[in-house]
């Protein structure tokens, strides 16, 4: 008799990673490879199906604001308009300046609302919060984000928490790429728990 758990390992469940031009490199690649290590297939999506330019996004000594340096490039497998969110088990909102621009995309709003409404595992870091905030998904939710995005969270009804990992139900968040080692693991554990329940028909 086939083992559904073994079948799920052979056919990895897919998880969305949202990017655009000026997405933060480390914010994106760290969860991308951690998902692969855990047996999931990361699916990168963007405003169009093309290659996007990522950046290194940080405050360096001598500066009081964020600066950007070019990072790696990454291809989006699908455009937002071509995504059926029901086919995916989780979503990750990366940081950098991209969220400030792509949050207004109506299809990205549609996708975002699906994951919150369906209580699927969601992760967000740094400026990534700007997407669920604009989509109206953070009211009453506790989240971490970079300090300068605190207003974006709170004006949308969210609750700012200055911590490396904030878990609110199936929503997991961190402040910046310095927190990856704290919040990505708990998010992946939620994905693994959901995968196990699905395999056992729960």
The catalytically annotated residue of 114, 127, 178, 180 is 127
127 is catalytic: yes
Q: Is the dihedral of CA 97, 120, 150, 64 positive or negative?
A: negative
**CA angle (174, 30, 135) in 5-degree steps:** 50
Single out the residue of 109, 108, 132 nearest to residue 122, CA to CA: 132
User: Angle, to 10 degrees, between the axis of helix 180-199 and the axis of helix 25-37?
Assistant: 40
What is the C-alpha to C-alpha distance for residues 72 and 202, in angstroms, rounded to an integer? 40
What is the C-alpha to C-alpha distance for residues 74 and 19, in angstroms, rounded to an integer? 9
- Active site positions, annotated: 127
């Amino acid at each position: 008799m086939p083992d559904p758990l073994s079948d799920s390992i052979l056919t990895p469940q897919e998880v969305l990673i949202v990017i655009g031009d000026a997405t933060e490199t480390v914010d994106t690649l760290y969860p991308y490879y951690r998902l692969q290590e855990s047996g999931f297939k990361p699916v990168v999506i963007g405003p169009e199906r093309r290659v996007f330019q990522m950046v290194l996004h940080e405050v360096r000594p001598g500066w009081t604001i964020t600066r950007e340096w070019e990072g790696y490039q990454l291809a989006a497998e699908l455009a937002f308009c071509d995504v059926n969110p029901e086919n995916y088990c989780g979503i990750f909102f990366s940081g950098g300046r991209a969220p400030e621009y792509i949050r207004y995309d109506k299809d990205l709003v549609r996708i975002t609302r699906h994951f919150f409404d369906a209580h699927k595992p969601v992760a967000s870091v740094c400026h990534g919060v700007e997407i669920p905030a604009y989509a109206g998904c953070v009211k009453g939710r506790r989240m971490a984000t970079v300090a300068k995005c605190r207003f974006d969270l709170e004006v949308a009804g969210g609750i700012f928490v200055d911590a490396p990992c904030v878990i609110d139900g199936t929503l997991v968040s961190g402040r910046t790429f310095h927190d990856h080692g704290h919040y990505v693991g708990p998010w992946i554990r939620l994905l693994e728990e959901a995968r196990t329940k699905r395999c056992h028909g729960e």
